[in-house]
Amino acid sequence: MVGAYFYGPESFKISPPGHPNTLLLTASRANLTRDSSFTALDNLTLLARRQTNTPFEISIDVHPGFYKAQGDEAGVTAFLHQDQHIDLGIVFLGGSPNSKGKLSFRCQATDVGNTDLTIISPLVMPVPLLWLSEHIRIYIRAENSTNYRLSAAPVFRPHESRMLATFTGALISSPDVFTAALLRVYATTNGGNHTMEGYVSR
């Protein structure tokens, strides 16, 4: 089943002029994790399909030229609810948006109350400078119900793929057999009040 899980359809534009076969995202102030500074009225910029089997892989191509301010982030997530999700995002951590070396991968596993989780993050590492001139493909792969691998590669040089993080534990699971994870793309300013628009594809 394919579906959207979001508020504010104006946050999404398909193939805007000059950018065929892309999705334009207007980032939300709210991010994927519950935070006391966000309210129920804060929109979320995310688009998803329901997980139908395991193993699975979700990937998108992020166009890295659109980041404007500290906290800007776009990525992919395997999401059950706000207390239980795995994310791989590309985030801008400050400085001049045009300065190289300020974009980083952020790998995050959130599983509130699960003491069996091997790593609770975020793990942050710089995007290689040579990757910043092209689109970057980011992946979340579930090899089975308890092992997740997060990786990235420059789109036109997939042989340079890098493993970024692994998470082990019954992360995205639910005792309700009718509830499966949502696999989705997201964009957020992580609380910033500015406008951030960016393109993803695939």
DSSP state for residue 9 in the 8-state scheme:
G
Confidence (pLDDT) at 101: 53
Provide the residue-wise pLDDT of the chain in tens; the chain has 202 residues. 234 444 466 777 788 888 889 888 888 887 777 665 665 456 777 676 666 666 778 889 998 877 888 899 999 988 776 677 788 999 998 766 555 558 999 998 877 665 555 445 578 999 999 998 889 999 988 877 778 889 999 999 999 999 999 887 665 555 544 345 666 888 888 888 888 888 888 8
- Backbone Cα Rg of the chain: 16
The answer to whether the CB of 92 falls within 8 A of the CB of 73 is yes
Answer yes or no: CATH 2.60.120.200 is held by domain 2-9+23-38+46-201.
yes
Sequence ranges of the domains in the chain? 2-9+23-38+46-201
Give the count of beta carbons closer than 10 Å to the beta carbon of residue 67: 23
Q: How far apart are CA 190 and CA 70, in angstroms?
A: 9
Q: How many CB atoms lie within 10 A of CB 1?
A: 7
CA 1 – CA 151 distance, rounded (Å):
25
Whether pTM > 0.85 for this model: the answer is no
- Quote the pLDDT of residue 77: 87
